[in-house]
Amino acid sequence: MSSRRLSLALRAYPREVRDRDGAHLLELAADLAEHHGATREALGLLRGGLAERRRHGRVRRVAVAVGAAVLLTITALTWTATAQSGRVEEDLFSCAGQCAEVEAQVASRVADGWTCTELGLPGAVGWRCTRD
């Protein structure tokens, strides 16, 4: 019965955590239940699982906020470039990891007379190339 109670309490953890660490958490809780009681350990699993869910929620909110900030930055840059003069061509490039192809495209723009500036994007590399 105590094993079933612990297994039910383990469901408070997010699926990713259960898949990765569930067996270890259940084994540890069962060992501790021998000394402290299954009810106490089940409550500990519930408390830990809820705390982990709250933490995962913050991570998602931060990721959404960073994505929104990048989108707003690119939008502002585009609007600023078009507001400066009547006709401005603009290309935006970004990559994460292997960037050889994108770097070649940026180098081609520079060779054609474009002005390219590197953007500080979180977790990626980006360039803004403009031509008046």
Domain spans in the chain, listed from the N-terminal domain onward: 2-62, 85-132
Q: Is 37 left (phi over 0), alpha (psi -120 to 50) or beta?
A: left
Query: For residue 130, what are the CA distances in angstroms to 30, 73, 74, 94, 103?
Result: 63, 16, 13, 15, 15
| pLDDT 10s digits, 33-68 | 888 888 888 888 888 888 888 887 766 776 777 777
User: Which residue, 92, 74, 103, 75, is CA-closest to 130?
Assistant: 92
| pLDDT 10s digits, 111-126 | 988 988 888 777 778 8
Whether pTM > 0.85 for this model: the answer is no
User: Which residue, 110, 113, 79, is CA-closest to 93?
Assistant: 110
